[in-house]
Amino acid sequence: MINDNIGVLGAAVMPFPRVLRKGELCFLSYKKEDFTSFEITSLDGERLMYTESNFDFPIMYDLNDNIIDNMLMIKGKRMPEIDTSQYVYVIARMRDGDRYRYKTNVSVSTDRQLNVILRPDKAELLEERRRYFKIKTNERAFITLRMQEGDDKPTPLDPPAEIYIKDINVGGVFFICTDTRRHFAKGDKLLMIINLSGSRLELNAEVLREQAIDSQETDTGYGCRFIGVSHSQEETISRYIYKLQFEMLQKEREKRDMF
């Protein structure tokens, strides 16, 4: 369903938390406004939780009144309870586009709250993929849910809308809909079912624009951005793009070899 639900380059250079006494001037290690989302996964990549809201870095104190300013607190309802004895990855997306990964333990996990310590000296800057590199394709896919602006919940499409992906990158897709009875608008939230190289993906997307793709305006295309794509989903899309790139290069070499 549509919900709110990321290769390592090297160690990130981030400030260590300042350990200060109550009443002293404090320069915080983390500020909520610097982050856009958090994803928590198992060490083998299974997504456990994702949020773009309801997180904060509350100022807390230990038993010696030292400030703890690097605790991530996420609140919600019906949250998954995560085993506090196991290590997890916390992947933070910054407002400037960078992503950091922390290997850590969850200290508190209930159905309404999760606490985890993020140590800046343990942060790894994730290698940014070629997010905006698009490759042309013609993959059949389906849209099963749609939520229009102002709707409280998504509406199932029955039957699902058949679409063809015309280009794709890690950040989104451009598609046409073969069903002339279907029309989408800017701001619509969609759930897409896409099969890439044998891997079935369920991807949330938002329509950013619509445009006619021929002079008679008989076909309309829609440009969309993905929402809340998991690290494993990004890997699947990247592998698919690289596979098509390789096949294109092979065909070009074969053409050259013919002359």
- What tens digit of pLDDT does each residue of 109-156 get? 999 999 998 887 778 887 655 445 678 899 999 999 999 988 888 999
Position 215 confidence tier, pLDDT thresholds 50, 70, 90: low
| Banded pLDDT at 20 (limits 50, 70, 90) | very low
Three-point CA angle 50, 53, 57, nearest 5°: 100
Average pLDDT over residues 235-243: 87
Residue closest to 187 by CA, chosen among 227, 244, 237: 227
Poorest-pLDDT segment among 110-114, 170-174, 216-220, 226-230: 216-220
Residues 6+ apart with CB under 8 A from 157: 143, 144, 145, 146, 182
pLDDT above 90: percentage of residues in the chain: 33
Does the pLDDT value for residue 17 go beyond 50? no
CB-side exposure of 202: number of CA atoms within 13 Å? 7
- Is the pLDDT at 5 greater than 60? The verdict is no
> pLDDT at position 238, please?
85
Put simply, whether the predicted model's pTM sits higher than 0.85 gets the answer no
* Pick among 2.40.10.220, 2.40.50.100, 3.40.50.1000, 2.40.50.140: CATH of 135-249: 2.40.10.220
Let me know: does 100 contact 126? Beta carbons within 8 Å: yes
Any idea which architecture 32-126 has in CATH? Roll (2.30)
Q: Domain ranges in the chain?
A: 32-126, 135-249
The answer to whether residue 81 scores a pLDDT higher than 80 is yes
Query: What are the beta bridge partners of residue 87?
Result: 105
The alpha-carbon radius of gyration of the chain (Å, integer) is 22
Matching CATH topology for 32-126 and 135-249? no
* Amino acid 88: pLDDT: 93
Q: Is the pLDDT of residue 179 over 90?
A: no
